[in-house]
Amino acid sequence: MKIQESAEDYLEAILIIGEKKEFVRAIDIVNHLGISKPSVSVYLKNLRENGYVTVNDKGHLSLTDEGMKIAVKIYERHKILSAILIALGVQEETAFKDACKIEHDLSDETFEIIKKHYLASQK
């Protein structure tokens, strides 16, 4: 199932924040993505209703299995594309921003070939 780019960004943000903090809260996403609290609240409701995120009684967010699958896919793309752009000489901040744009639009086939080439070059 294809989900919107913004949903992928939210799921990826939850994954990234979760790697750094014990709990992920809506305010963490606000700070990470630079989006307003009301926007984050509305979007998290949609992600919950579609089965990508759960929220416990303390407001801590967790990815469901399906949410985690998408987040891991997008984050892997982000890391590899960023690394390639940096290796090509792109400034780190620009590389991260550009990788964010590219990660959503590449086909699985194209990304797998890029990934294979990148990993082979790292040996």
DSSP E strands in 37-104: the ranges are 53-55, 61-63
Ordered by start, the domain boundaries in the chain are 5-69, 73-121
User: What's the predicted TM-score (pTM) here?
Assistant: 0.89
Q: What kind of fold does domain 73-121 have according to CATH?
A: Diphtheria Toxin Repressor; domain 2 (1.10.60)
Distance CA 98, CA 105 (A): 12
CATH class of 5-69: mainly alpha
pLDDT in tens for each of the 123 residues of the chain? 457 888 999 999 999 999 999 999 999 999 999 999 999 999 999 999 999 999 999 999 999 999 999 999 999 999 999 999 999 999 999 999 999 999 988 999 999 999 999 999 887
